[in-house]
Amino acid sequence: MPGEKQWRAAKARMQMYAALRSHFARLNYLEVETPTLLRTPGMEPHIDPFEAPYIPQTGVGERRSFWLQTSPEYAMKRLLADGAPQIFQICKTYRNGEISGTHNPEFTMLEFYRPNADYHAIMDDLEGALAAVEAAVAPERGVFSKRPFERLTVQQAVLKHTGIDIFAHADGDSLARAAKSIGVHVGDSRSFDDVFFHLFLERVERKLGAERPTFLIEYPASMASLSRLKPSDPRVAERVELYAHGVELANGFTELTDAKEQRARLVEEQALRRTLGRPVFELDEAFLAALPHMPPSGGIAVGLDRVLMLCLGFEEIGDVVLFPARDFF
């Protein structure tokens, strides 16, 4: 049953939602709702969705699998393609198998998009939103009031904390040798991305956002996900993640709107999922068809349970959820 921490968090959660809605209303964002039950889930290689079978009982449709959303991203981008203004939503999202001190399989996400903007504008809007949340929930904490947040490129962050310049290494073998030279175990894979994440998780991530929140920007192009490459430096993608006290809070992009390039990336992710032995899903053709009509945009997804944890000074995500998944096992 909920304890004192959970009841305190429940009140703070109400204050957080009110602060976010007020902040985005001042910025002329429109709040939207999109389906949480999807025909086609996202293709992220290391995220598994929950399956939700449809069983016809009224003579409509046939038995088939649907999926609980891991993010409302595709649907919100389709709204932008249809002419939506700047939009946000606060919603439940689901990721299978993720239970830890900072993970709950069902969690609350803030996601927002600005047409005719890039990741710099999105960072500015998120700074203001989190400062508003902290002012409403726990102004004495001082986590998100230290503005402007630090902006650090991935190259700068790795160099600062390991002494390794990732762009001085042409492939995974070279980066692995550099990582091993400073005592980092990198596993058997010699994929550049795999070696990078061993290095990043062991030596960099927990140090980010120690003094003030840190926007980690400009990931290597191979980690672009749904972001466009930086026109002035195609080695990197216009992707941003937010960290505070070593906890990842948000992931966003200057959005990729090239449907051909996006299809190629999704096909690559299908192949990687197949290699990893994970379920492989069909492409979301409605999303791909919408992309050519989507204006240049910036967007970001924020884990609100983790934000609440930091605002309240709690250690685990289960402390801010009335019915945490950890209690089911």
In three-state secondary structure terms, 291 is: helix
Which tokens sit at 14? Answer: 């109400």
Residue whose C-alpha is closest to residue 226's, from 262, 272, 270: 262
CA dihedral 98, 107, 221, 188 (to 10 degrees): -10
Q: Which pLDDT score, from 0 to 100, does residue 170 have?
A: 85
Q: How far apart are CA 206 and CA 210, in angstroms?
A: 8
Low-confidence ranges of the chain (pLDDT < 70): none
CA distance 302 to 109: 6
pLDDT reported for residue 306: 98
Strands, E, within the chain: which ranges?
Answer: 30-31, 37-38, 51-54, 64-68, 87-94, 106-115, 150-153, 214-220, 229-230, 233-244, 247-254, 297-303
DSSP 8-state secondary structure symbol assigned to residue 61 = S
**C-alpha 157: how far from chain center:** 19
Phi, psi of 34 (to 5 degrees): -125, 160
Angle at 238 between CA 233 and CA 239, to 5 degrees: 140
Give the residue among 158, 90, 155, 151 at the shortest CA–CA distance from 122. 151
Residue extents of the structural domains in the chain: 4-37+69-149+212-328
Q: What is the pLDDT of residue 228?
A: 95
Q: Give dist(CA 28, CA 87) in Å, integer.
A: 9
In this predicted structure, what is the pLDDT of residue 3? 83
pLDDT of residue 150: 97
pTM as predicted = 0.95
- pLDDT for 43 equals 86
Q: What pLDDT does 271 receive?
A: 93
Domain at 4-37+69-149+212-328, CATH class: alpha beta
Which pLDDT belongs to residue 329?
80
Q: pLDDT tens digits, residue range 103-141?
A: 999 999 999 999 999 999 999 999 999 999 999 999 988
**Which among 240, 179, 248 has a CA at the least distance from the CA of 207?**
248
Cis geometry, peptide bond prior to residue 148 (ω within 30 degrees of 0): yes
